[in-house]
Structure 1
Amino acid sequence: MNIRVIQGLALLATGLLTGAFAYGAANLVPTFNAVPLDMRLSFHAELMKMNGITVQAAMAVSTLSSLALALLTRGRARLIAGAAALLTLASFLITRLGNVPINGRIKEWALTAAPADHAEILRRWELFNNLRTLTALTAFVLLIVLCLWQPTATARNRA
């Protein structure tokens, strides 16, 4: 497969992942905090059903395409692509080990009632959300830098 295609795939998937997380951090979380708790819990539980599919797919494609890019390049490009792969993997781990268990609790609360310490647990979910947004954004920026700083095949052929 052409390295430019893999670069494009890595950029697309990581950009979509970053966009999804950033939209959540900038728009959904403030909205969650502005509505009554029962509404937030119900909406959050339903939203996570859809996000479970799309966000995990974006994380997988982001990580695998960045890793493939690292394997196909050398020097600084390999380091940058490898760092992007590690950062998207970090987004996955933060999600699976931080957000997903809390999402499970939120799903239960939507059917029953939130515990007395729910505000602290929801703040922890937001912290994990901010961390995974930051790791995805950093990976996306690294991939943009990699694509902008790498000479094109045409430019190499002229030299």
Structure 2
Amino acid sequence: MPTNMRIRLLLGLALLSTGLLAGAFGYGAANLVPTFNAVPLDLRLSFHAELMKRNGITMQAAMAVSTLGSLTLATLTPGRARLIAGTAALLTLASFLITRLGNVPINGRIKEWALTSAPVDHAEILRRWELFNNLRTLTALTAFALLILLALKRPPTGRNQSSAAPIASRA
């Protein structure tokens, strides 16, 4: 398969996975969190704990594919395309690290609270979870925007190739 076709497929994979990641985080920030805050605490804790069981695998997979797709794209493209794809990879990696080091430990506590009761300082802990959620949403959305920019600009080509034709004109 020609290098340019591999690059285009990688860009498509990176766009798809990063778009799904940004969309899932965006939906959570715009809809789930306000709903969490509008229902009684015991309902929120039970639902949150159940939701995290299902999110664990799908969200980690989306973060991994987003990061690896963008990183691979960065290694196969030159110049500005490399910088943009590499930055997208770092941003999706940041989403992963924020999730693993920020949200996941709090999710574990929420799971315990759902079975017992929330501590006195639960509101502050839940605010911290929301802050981490907003940060990972922002990093994922920014990575997605960068990949869109890359797709709309000059097509990413292999190291020894160059082309000034935009992707749309080559379709």
TM-score (norm 2): 0.89
Residues 151, 61 of structure 1: alpha-carbon distance in 2 compared, 3 angstrom cutoff: closer
SS of match in other structure, 1:155:
coil
Q: Aligned equivalents of 2:53 and 2:74: distance in 1?
A: 32
Do residues 138 (structure 1) and 142 (structure 2) align?
Answer: yes
Q: Which residue of 2 aligns with 1:155?
A: 165
Give the drift of 1:150.
Answer: 1.7
Give the drift of 1:154.
Answer: 9.1
Q: Aligned equivalents of 1:94 and 1:155: distance in 2?
A: 38
Contact 2:154 2:165 in 1 (8 A): no
Q: Which residue of 2 aligns with 1:109?
A: 113
Q: Which residue of 1 aligns with 2:31?
A: 27
Q: Which residue of 2 aligns with 1:74?
A: 78
Task: Considering fraction of residues, name the structure with more helix.
Answer: 1
Q: Aligned equivalents of 2:51 and 2:58: distance in 1?
A: 11
Overall identity of the aligned pairs, in %: 83
* Partner of residue 122 from structure 1, selected from 126, 139, 161: 126
TM-score (norm 1): 0.95
Do residues 4 (structure 1) and 8 (structure 2) align?
Answer: yes
Q: What's the Cα RMSD here?
A: 1.6
Q: Which residue of 2 aligns with 1:54?
A: 58
Q: Aligned equivalents of 1:147 and 1:154: distance in 2?
A: 13
Moved over 2 A (4+): 151-156
The number of residues matched between the two structures is: 157
Task: List gaps (5 residues or longer) in structure 1.
Answer: none
